[in-house]
Every structure is written in C-alpha cells, then in structure tokens.
Amino acid sequence: MMERAKRTKRDGKQIHLIVVDGKTEKWYLDLYKEKNSLKNFKVDPELCKKRTLKEQFQTIEENLNNYLSIIWVIDFDVILKETCETPKGEKTKISEFREYMELLKKHENVHILINVPCLEYWYLLHIKNTSKYYTCYNDLEKEFKNTILDGYEKTEKFYKQKNKDIYTKLQPFLEKAITNAKQLGDINIYDMEKGKAEIYKLFSILNKK
C-alpha cells in the first residue's frame, strides 16, 4: 500500500491537476481529454459533485507538491449571487475567495482561471465575439438559440451525445474562442461585472513544452 502511494505521488508530478466546481466543467474537460488522447492531466473531483469554495481550496492546498501544476477553474455567478445575499456584517463569498487567491498566488504552479458569469460564456465565445456582461446563465442561454448550441442543457446526456458531444460541436471554433477570450483581458478581482472566460489559458498551460 505504501509503495502504491509513493508511485501515485511520483507519477502525479508529470501531470496537471484541474480542480473544478461543477459537473459541466468536468464533462467538457473529460471530453477534451478523450478526443485528443491526452494523458497529461486529471480532473478533480473524479465524481461529479458540488463542493464549497473551502473544499476546493483545501484540495489545492493538499496537492501543491503532488502535480506539475494545479489549475483552478471557477465560475463566478454563484459567488456574486451569494455575496449580494450575505447579511450585513458577515463575510461575503467574494471576500473568502480573495483570501484564497492571496494565499495561493505565492505558488507559481497554481493557476486560477475565472469565468464570469459561468462556463457557458466560454461556449458563447465560440459562436459570437462579445464583451457583454451577463449576471447569470439564465441571462445568457437565449444567445444559443439558432446556433450549434440550440437546445443546450446542463445534462450529461446533452454533453455526451454520440457524434454530437459538446466538445466535437465546439472544436472547429476553438481558436476563434481563444482569440475572443484574450481580447477581453484579465480578471480584476475588484471589478467583476465584466464578461470573462479565462479558461482559454488552460490550453496553453497543458500544451506548454
């Protein structure tokens, strides 16, 4: 058992760990891995389950020395919503997140990639060059009508349709999406009401020689 643990830790140093906060991110990244026959990263959690900010941060802390790099992909719609709903005098979710960012920024192998409002904004950039700010997914979903993502659902069935999975649909427009996302610039954690899709940076991190 001890030998297996040592081997897992040693092997992990050759791959990246991607920590996500939702099942849609996991489905999308697992498809990217499968379609490109990649072995240089793993997605955490292995099972699709929702986790708190603290639980995600703890996962990163616990694995700082176990992987080539750790990439934290996080949607900001829920954080902003819960921040607005926080009773006066209590710590907000955005304050909690800023604290985690401060603690992690000293680690060069940690990359925090924020999507505002959510992963679906990244999908939108495949089919539209926009800088519009949407407060949540519900505001954004109408943009998929009459496009390759018409009928979009946050379900495993939709994501993994045979020969029509979401990665296969979007892949021809990947470079366009990366260009559109780059034009939006980097996140300013003190000015979050701007559309962003920093997940585009993940591809260069994973492909860096």
* CA angle (47 as vertex; 42, 52 as ends), nearest 5: 95
pLDDT value at 102 more than 70? yes
- Give the whole-number percent of the chain exceeding pLDDT 90: 78
pLDDT value at 12 more than 70? no
Q: Which of 197, 187, 188 is nearest to 125 (CA)?
A: 197
Strands 196-197 and 110-116: antiparallel
User: What gap in Å lies between CA 28 and CA 33, rounded to an integer?
Assistant: 9
Reported as a single tens digit per residue, the pLDDT across 45-62 is 876 677 889 999 999 999
Range of the domain at 59: 2-207
User: What gap in Å lies between CA 123 and CA 159, rounded to an integer?
Assistant: 12
* CA angle (180 as vertex; 119, 132 as ends), nearest 5: 65
Reported as a single tens digit per residue, the pLDDT across 173-196 is 999 999 999 999 999 999 999 999
pLDDT value at 3 more than 80? no
Reported as a single tens digit per residue, the pLDDT across 110-156 is 999 999 999 999 999 999 999 999 999 999 999 999 999 999 999 99
pLDDT value at 11 more than 70? no
Number of domains in the chain: 1
